[in-house]
Amino acid sequence: MMNAMQSSGETSVASSGCAKAIRKAATVLVVRPADDAGIEVFMVQRPGRGVFPNLHVFPGGKVDGVDAGLSHLCRDLSDAAASAALGLDSGGLRYWVTAIRECFEECGVLLAYRGDTLFEPRNAAEQKRFHGHRDALVEGRLTLPELARREGLQLATDRVRYFSHWITPESAPARFDTRFFAAAMPAGQRAVGHHEETVGGVWVRPEAALGHYQQGHWQMIHPTLTTLGTAARYASVEALMAAVAAGTHLPDVDDALYEQGMQRVRTREYSSAGAAADS
């Protein structure tokens, strides 16, 4: 949800003699098997307003202050391990929390555990209740930790993999320091774009999404195009997620990619406990 930024989610840099805020953000590539072969990703279209109107993007948004300090709600991932994976001294876990929160707000997919199993609504009544929780989150009447405590949930941070890091170039109308993540679509849930957050949402093959852009039907920016190009190389969700976990999915960050905002980071490998280690 692209809501008002809390102070903990902004930094300022000098640009052309004045300070330009760089807002911290997270986005998540939700993937599922296609009906016949290959994979599909869920994409939403931004409304025709704001800094980047009408874009097709992955669910995501800005880091909120309430996303920090929630290690007790996160499955098998500590702030120390998350921060090491992102190349930060501390505070890395909040990006995972933001990705999970935004995924639920923007496409209705809740990456969480209830007990030892991934969450899925038990019946229509519970599905309706969680639809209300989603609206309350979007409208600011509920926070993710409140939702987790109320419903006995733990965030599935162990199933959300760090994908890439982009910082919007100085020439852009607004700047974001964005961490990209990837997660497999959980069974028993349905992805639907939120009417206030998006124009709509659609499952699409990565190569088909790139085709829509090339034909001039969709607007997308370089981080989205690069991510789609990466995802299109994999024939299954399992292959993609394994490559992301091993840190072997990304192209080399050459000067052209770096100028577009892709950051050069060391490849890391996640352990089964969610810790990160140098590869």
Give me the pLDDT at residue 97, please: 97
Give me the pLDDT at residue 224, please: 96
pLDDT in tens, 185-238: 999 999 987 766 667 899 999 999 999 999 999 999 999 999 999 999 999 999
Domains parsed from the chain with CATH numbers: 7-263 (3.90.79.10)
The model carries a pTM of 0.86
DSSP characters for 104-127? HHHH----EEETTEE---SSHHHH
Q: E strands, the chain, where?
A: 10-15, 18-33, 39-45, 56-57, 60-62, 112-114, 117-118, 153-155, 161-167, 175-184, 200-204, 268-270, 276-278
For the chain, give the longest Cα–Cα distance: 57
Task: Say if CB 244 and CB 256 are below 8 A apart.
Answer: no
Q: Please say if the pLDDT value at position 173 is more than 50.
A: yes
Q: Mean pLDDT, to the nearest integer, of 239-256?
A: 91
Residues 6+ apart with CB under 8 A from 117: none
Q: Closest by alpha carbon to 61, among 155, 204, 161, 196?
A: 196
Amino acid at 164: S
User: Residue 245 gets which letter from DSSP?
Assistant: H
Give exposure, 200-212, as e/b (b: 16+ Cβ within 10 Å): ebbbbbbebbbeb
Q: Is 252 helix (H, G, I), strand (E, B) or coil?
A: coil
Angle at 221 between CA 30 and CA 106, to 5 degrees: 35
Residues 6+ apart with CB under 8 A from 8: 63, 65, 68
